[in-house]
Chains A and B, each alone.
Chain A
């Protein structure tokens, strides 16, 4: 083997890599939060909305879940300017991520809502709780407890998928790696370091999420 590894130029660019990682985190977190809003609205529409709305939501979910994220990004990034709406790569990336994660999270949240037995709500009302209290103590907490693991792994998946936004040159971690490799010709080294950064982020998040799960959703309820 004649190849000599050069990690020097990669490590010198650590500021860029950290900035990229920070943007990846920002993108993922904002996309997840906005995606949850979309998902809660769509889950409501699917479980108790009017029929035409249900059909629209079904189409949205099926289209997003059966096409690749890369194609969705291209559609948004190249398509919207043709329709007269110009978006920066970062904005297009965020929009694509929200639309994408919204569809997956809808199914998760719907499952959570449907997992609450009707009798629970009736029992709560019979005990004299107000509807808001029933929602807060009887529906929301067990529903969240049920879907929490699925939502957190969806978040980690979203963060990993977000590397695809480098295809439209957003400023995320993978794009930074692309810049560094084109300047220094140390492709393997850059991508190895960046892969380890992604691995560290996903391991850290899954550790934090499971710690939160143990503390906040311990069963039986200790409060």
Chain B
């Protein structure tokens, strides 16, 4: 017998959204740390470091996120760890976000005019001080709109964790749909939850971009 779609079913999907949000936040925090390391390695003058970071980016941008999830999920078992979809999803999304944020931020660091480097050099600042006080603060401004835009990608990407069995909002929708068979209602609600999470960020990103463009055109 099919279950009716009622308040309980709706609340089940809605409360699962907290796992989507939490997974996105973890992946974003991890990806921010990883991304900074990748971006700094990528612009480093050490050839080996720069090439390694480039390879890392290439692999993660050139393969499906779903495969990355599977490899982390099944790879953990292979290495003898207990596989837990929650941890596998967090690790895979963090690695993926590191690669994408690394590539975005590399572009932002390189977009800071050369003269700034030269001026810092002329002032006698060494590399870490130049990065910390001159380059990164300016790169941060350039990086803000695309980073917020990437956050939207990341929130949508967490839906793939459903496939390895992590009960976030998409998986919750699948479970309820299997019980009630009301696909339009169920996946309509699931889609609406993602939309409510993503749309304000998409618009924020666009507004930041416009404001930044207005500030830099003279």
Query: Chain A residues in contact with chain B, CB under 8 A?
Result: 1-3, 62-63, 65-72, 74-75, 78-79, 82-83, 156, 160-164, 166-167, 174, 187-188, 191-192, 194-195, 198-199, 202-203, 206
How far does the alpha carbon of A71 sit from the alpha carbon of B183 in the complex, in Å? Answer: 11
| B163 on the A face (CB < 8 A) | yes
Q: Closest residue of chain A to B60, judged by CB?
A: A199
- Decide: B71 and A66 in contact? CB cutoff 8 A: no
Q: A66: which B residues are within 8 A, CB to CB?
A: 152, 156, 194-195, 198-199, 202
Take A71-B187, A75-B191, A79-B187 as given contacts and tell me if A203 and B62 are in contact as well, using a CB distance cutoff of 8 Å. Answer: yes
> B residues near A, CB below 8 A?
58-59, 62-68, 70-71, 74-75, 77-80, 152, 156-157, 159-160, 162-163, 170, 173-174, 177, 181-184, 187-188, 190-191, 194-195, 198-199, 202
The 8 closest A-B pairs by CB, nearest first: A78-B183, A68-B159, A163-B64, A66-B198, A68-B156, A187-B74, A202-B62, A195-B67
Q: In the complex the two chains form, is A167's CB within 8 Å of B71's CB?
A: no
| 14 A–B pairs (Cβ distance < 8 Å), ordered by A | A62-B202, A63-B195, A65-B202, A66-B195, A68-B156, A70-B170, A71-B191, A74-B177, A82-B182, A164-B66, A174-B64, A198-B64, A199-B62, A203-B58
Nearest CB to that of A66 among chain B residues?
B198
The answer to whether B67 and A188 touch across the interface, beta carbons within 8 angstroms, is no
Of residues A70, A191, A194, which shows the largest number of chain B Cβ atoms within 10 Å of its Cβ?
A: A70
Q: Judging by beta carbons under 8 Å apart, are B191 and A160 in contact? A: no
Residues of B within 8 A of A78 (CB): 177, 183, 187
Chain A residues within 8 Å of B64, by CB: 160-164, 174, 195, 198
If the complex has contacts A2-B80, A66-B202, A203-B62, are A198 and B67 also in contact, measured as CB distance less than 8 A? yes
Q: Say whether B70 contacts A191, CB under 8 Å.
A: yes
With A71-B187, A74-B187, A206-B62 given, name 14 new contacts (CB 8 A): A2-B80, A3-B79, A65-B198, A66-B202, A68-B170, A68-B194, A74-B174, A75-B191, A163-B64, A164-B163, A174-B64, A187-B74, A188-B78, A203-B58
Q: If A63-B191, A63-B195, A66-B202 touch, does A71 touch B184 (CB 8 Å cutoff)?
A: no
- Of A63, A79, A202, the most chain B CB neighbours within 10 A belong to A79
Q: How many A-B residue pairs have CB under 8 A?
A: 120
Q: Is the CB of B162 within 8 A of A82?
A: no
What separation, in Å, do the CA atoms of A127 and B119 have in the docked complex? 50
Given A62-B199, A164-B160, A188-B75, answer yes or no on A198-B62 (Cβ-Cβ < 8 Å). yes
A70 touches B160 (CB 8 A): yes
Pairwise interchain contact A79-B62, C-beta atoms closer than 8 A: no
From A79, A163, A188, A202, B74 is in contact (CB under 8 Å) with A188
Query: How many whole Å from B15's CB to the nearest CB in chain A?
Result: 17
